[in-house]
Amino acid sequence: MSQSVDALFRPWDFKGLNLANRIVMAPMTRSKSPGQVPGPEVAAYYRRRVEGGTGLIITEGTTVDHPVASNDLNVPAFHGKAALDGWAHVVSEVHAAGGKIMPQIWHTGTMRRQGEGPNPDLPSAGPSGLSKPGKKIGEPMTDADIEAAIDAFGRAAADAKRVGFDGVEIHGAHGYLIDTFFWDGTNARTDAFGGDMVKRTRFAADIVRACRAATGPDFPVVLRFSQWKQQDFSARMALTPSELEAFLTPLADAGVDIFHCSNRRFWEPEFEGSDMNLAGWTKKITGKPTITVGSVGLNEDFIAAFKGVPAGVADFGNLVTMFERGDFDLVGVGRALLVDPEWANKIRDGRLSELKPYAAEALAFLS
Ligand SMILES: Cc1cc2nc3c(=O)[nH]c(=O)nc-3n(C[C@H](O)[C@H](O)[C@H](O)COP(=O)(O)O)c2cc1C
């Protein structure tokens, strides 16, 4: 590392979160919870990352209690006694090791194909029945569908608090249900949930309000969002800072505490004329804390990884400079923590020769 990383190992307190450092495990789907129930192996998997020095775990996406939220019977649910008991055990293991943890609550929307997941006969849910721009796979959600989905997120947040999690992250990124409301390419509604940028945030803002109402003023509520979509990696919802402001303001007003700004490469400037990334702009516009993410410690992004391209260990570049000048508060780390549960301690201690490259095979075991 060309720069000292000490700053990333300063504690951080926010609404009682009391994190030991700024390293956050990014949410990563594993499909290792048969019957949608996270077992003891899931608890051990997260505990290992805490023992390795990670300050905050954001769990893999875990699906809310809506009939078509899930597209995979091995992805853990966030409802029902068995799954929530499993999560309670995950929380107690993470806490026993001195870590903090939030679930990422998730609805897969039209990324789910009919036939996948727990209710295979039901059609997938999207604001306009589009799986991507111009590709209709079903009917628009009705008002009742929308209400049920919002309610499901609110109940998940209440359960997160009841089970003992330290906050909750709402998955509003990457082309899943919430993001298909954000994106004009998949939201063609003309009611209160579609139209201009502000109206397209309405569904998410209602979810944030439901989560807030279910958990009270002091429970940290994080919203993850991204410009890019799995349906289109080059998609951008906000082309200018003022469009980003139109997008973020209603969400901040609804009660988001922390924005998790999903980038593929953290060092890429979001708009011309400034070297700030999405997290930097989001913090500047909203005044709220932010999490950055994207290829920290690696030289290839995760889309390349899914195509089988390995990634080597990389210098942090300007990460610490960006952090020190206040662009973001926390640093999300994905693949580097998949291959190496001890990654954070190795970085802290300067054990750089022990860092592992990321090989595509890591996806196969996700241990
Ligand atoms: C195997 C795998 C599974 C992922 N699953 C999720 C997920 O469930 N929810 C989510 O928001 N992002 C998911 N992501 C994206 C990561 O959270 C992260 O943003 C991305 O990997 C970039 O970070 P990295 O470059 O440090 O790996 C996943 C990424 C990987 C590699």
The pLDDT profile of the chain, 367 residues, written as one tens digit per residue, is: 657 999 999 999 999 999 999 999 999 999 999 999 999 999 999 999 999 999 999 999 999 999 999 999 999 999 999 999 999 999 999 999 999 999 999 999 999 999 999 999 999 999 999 999 999 999 999 999 999 999 999 999 999 999 999 999 999 999 999 999 999 999 999 999 999 999 999 999 999 999 999 999 999 999 999 999 999 999 999 999 999 999 999 999 999 999 999 999 999 999 999 999 999 999 999 999 999 999 999 888 888 777 777 788 888 889 999 999 999 999 999 999 998 999 999 999 999 889 888 876 666 555 5
Q: Residue 174 to residues 93, 107, 109, 141, 161: CA-CA distances in angstroms?
A: 29, 11, 11, 19, 25
Separation of CA 233 and ligand 1 centre (Å) = 14
| CA dihedral for 87, 88, 89, 95, sign (positive or negative) | positive
Q: What is the pTM of this model?
A: 0.97
User: Exposed (0-12), middle (13-18) or buried (19+): which is 48, by Cβ within 10 Å?
Assistant: middle
Separation of CA 334 and ligand 1 centre (Å) = 6
DSSP state of 129: S
Under a CB-based contact definition with an 8 Å cutoff, are residues 277 and 321 in contact? no
Separation of CA 61 and ligand 1 centre (Å) = 10
> Which is the closest atom of ligand 1 to the Cα of 311?
25
First to last CA, the chain: 27
SS3 (DSSP) at 252: helix
Domain ranges for the chain, please list them: 6-365
Query: What H or E segment, with its residue span, contains residue 256?
Result: none
Query: What pLDDT score does 301 carry?
Result: 84
> Which is the closest atom of ligand 1 to the Cα of 58?
17
> Which is the closest atom of ligand 1 to the Cα of 264?
22
Q: What are phi and psi of 222, to 5 degrees?
A: -105, 140
The C-alpha atoms of residue 25 and residue 344 are separated, in whole angstroms, by: 10
Q: Specify whether 358 is catalytic.
A: no
By most ligand atoms within 8 Å of CB, the mutation choice from 23, 25, 29 for ligand 1 is: 29
CA-closest candidate to residue 260, choices 214, 224, 310, 236: 224
By most ligand atoms within 8 Å of CB, the mutation choice from 71, 302, 330, 337 for ligand 1 is: 302
Separation of CA 175 and ligand 1 centre (Å) = 13
CA-closest candidate to residue 220, choices 327, 100, 80: 100
Write the CATH number of the domain with boundaries 6-365. 3.20.20.70
List the catalytic residue out of 45, 46, 176, 358.
176
Query: What H or E segment, with its residue span, contains residue 94?
Result: helix 81-96
SS3 (DSSP) at 314: coil
Separation of CA 26 and ligand 1 centre (Å) = 6
> Which is the closest atom of ligand 1 to the Cα of 171?
11
Question: Whose C-alpha lies nearest to ligand 1, atom 18?
Answer: 334
Query: Hey, how many other C-beta atoms are within 10 angstroms of the C-beta on 23?
Result: 27
Question: Whose C-alpha lies nearest to ligand 1, atom 30?
Answer: 28
The C-alpha atoms of residue 20 and residue 367 are separated, in whole angstroms, by: 24
By most ligand atoms within 8 Å of CB, the mutation choice from 28, 63, 292 for ligand 1 is: 28
Q: How far is CA 242 from the centre of its chain?
A: 24
265 token code pair: 């490469």
Query: What pLDDT score does 307 carry?
Result: 77
Under a CB-based contact definition with an 8 Å cutoff, are residues 292 and 327 in contact? yes
Question: Whose C-alpha lies nearest to ligand 1, atom 25?
Answer: 295
Beta-carbon contacts of residue 139 (< 8 Å; ≥ 6 apart): 123, 129
The C-alpha atoms of residue 262 and residue 79 are separated, in whole angstroms, by: 26
Residues at CB less than 6 angstroms from ligand 1:
26-29, 60-61, 104, 171, 173-174, 224, 262, 293-296, 298, 301-302, 333-336, 363
Separation of CA 317 and ligand 1 centre (Å) = 21
Q: What are phi and psi of 110, to 5 degrees?
A: -90, 10
Separation of CA 129 and ligand 1 centre (Å) = 25
The C-alpha atoms of residue 320 and residue 70 are separated, in whole angstroms, by: 37
Query: What pLDDT score does 363 carry?
Result: 60
User: How does strand 135-136 pair with strand 130-132?
Assistant: antiparallel
> Which is the closest atom of ligand 1 to the Cα of 265?
25
Strands (E), 172-251: 221-226
The C-alpha atoms of residue 285 and residue 174 are separated, in whole angstroms, by: 22
Under a CB-based contact definition with an 8 Å cutoff, are residues 167 and 223 in contact? no
